[in-house]
Amino acid sequence: MRLGEILDGSFNIYRRHFGLFMRLSLILVWLPTAAGIYLNLRFSKTPFEALSFFQEHVAGSIGMFLLFVVVWAACSLLLKAGTIRIISDSYLGQEPELGASLRFGVDKIVPLLLVTFSKGLLIILLYIVSAVGVGALYFMGKLLGMGGLMIFIGVVGAFWFLAWVLCAYATTTPIVVLEDLSSSFDAFSRSWELTRGARLKVFGTVVVTWLISAFLPQLVIGGISEVLGVAGNDALQPFFVVVASLLGIVLAPILPCALTLLYYDLRVRREAFDLQVLSEQLGTGMTETR
C-alpha cells in the first residue's frame, strides 16, 4: 500500500469501529489523562510552586513521577495492543470484542514494557551521542572559522540519524504483539530487518498520521484558546484543558492503526503474509475471510 492508502485504511477502520475504540481508550487512558489534567490545572500558573514542592519532597516527587511513567506507558501499550487486536480481527472478517482486545493486551504487557523501556534508554543514548557529535563538529568548525555552518550540518545530521534509527524500530510493538519471539528483545532485530528499504515510508506514515491526528487538532484548540484569551481567564482555562485532553483520548487509536497497517503491508511485501498465518498467531479460527 502507498502512504495515502495506509492513511485511508486507518481512518476507515477507525470510523468503522469508532465506538469500540472509544470504550477501549476511555478504559485505559482515563487515569493518566485525569492525572495530567490535575497537574496542568494545579501547577500551570504557579511553576515556582511546583519547583518548591519538588524541592521539599524530592524522593516522593521522583517516586510519583516514575510511577506515573510506568502507569502511562502500560496504559498506552495496552491501548496499542488492543487496537492491533481490533484491526486484526477486522482483517479476519470477525467482529472485534472489547474483552478479547483487553485480554490480548494484558497477556502481552510484560514484553511490551521491556521493549518500550529498552527503546526509551536507546533514545536517550542516541540523544547523548548526537549531542556529543554536534558539539565536536562545532569545535572543529570554530577552529576553521565555520562554527555556525558546522552546527547546522551537525543538527541536520543528528536529526536524520535519530529519525533513521527510530523508523528502523517503529514496528517493534506490532511485532511483540503478533509474533512468537524467543525473546522480547528479538523485536529490535526483527523490526530492523522488516523496515529495511522502507524507512522513508515509515517516516512519512508516522509524521503525516501524527500531524493529522495529534498536532493539527491540538493546534486548533490552542488557537481558539488564544483568540478567546483563555490564558488569562480562570473560568475558561479548565474547560479547554479538559477538551484538549479528551481530544487526545478520542484520536489516540489512529496512529497505532496506521502502524499496524504498515506492519502488515511490510510483511505482505517481504514474506507473502496471509490471513491464515494471522489467524494462527491470534489463536482464532478463520470462519470467514474477506
List pLDDT tens digits, range 41-89. Answer: 666 666 666 667 667 767 777 887 788 888 888 888 898 898 888 888 8
| Position 290 pLDDT exceeds 50 | no
Please give the helix or strand (H or E) that residue 48 lies within, else none: helix 47-56
What confidence category does residue 285 fall into, taking pLDDT thresholds of 50, 70 and 90?
Answer: very low
Residue 273 phi, psi dihedral angles, 5° rounding: -60, 135
Reported as a single tens digit per residue, the pLDDT across 238-277 is: 677 777 778 878 888 888 889 888 988 888 877 766 655 5
Judge whether 94 and 284 are in contact, CB under 8 Å. Answer: yes
Q: 221 exposed, middle or buried (CB, 10 Å; 0-12, 13-18, 19+)?
A: middle
- In order, the DSSP letters of 114-139 are HHHHHHHHHHHHHHHHHHHHHHHHHH
Q: Buried b / exposed e across 231-244, counting CB within 10 Å, b at 16+?
A: eeeeeebeebbeeb
Reported as a single tens digit per residue, the pLDDT across 84-128 is: 888 888 777 778 888 888 888 888 899 999 999 999 999 999 999
Rounded alpha-carbon distances, angstroms, from residue 250 to 9, 24, 30, 35, 284: 18, 10, 11, 17, 29
Q: Buried b / exposed e across 38-49, counting CB within 10 Å, b at 16+?
A: eebeeeeeeeee
Q: pTM value?
A: 0.77
3-state helix, strand, coil in the chain (%, to 5): 85, 0, 15
Q: Which residue's C-alpha cell is 478567546?
A: 228
pLDDT given at position 37: 74
Sorted by where each begins, the domain ranges of the chain are 3-109+174-281
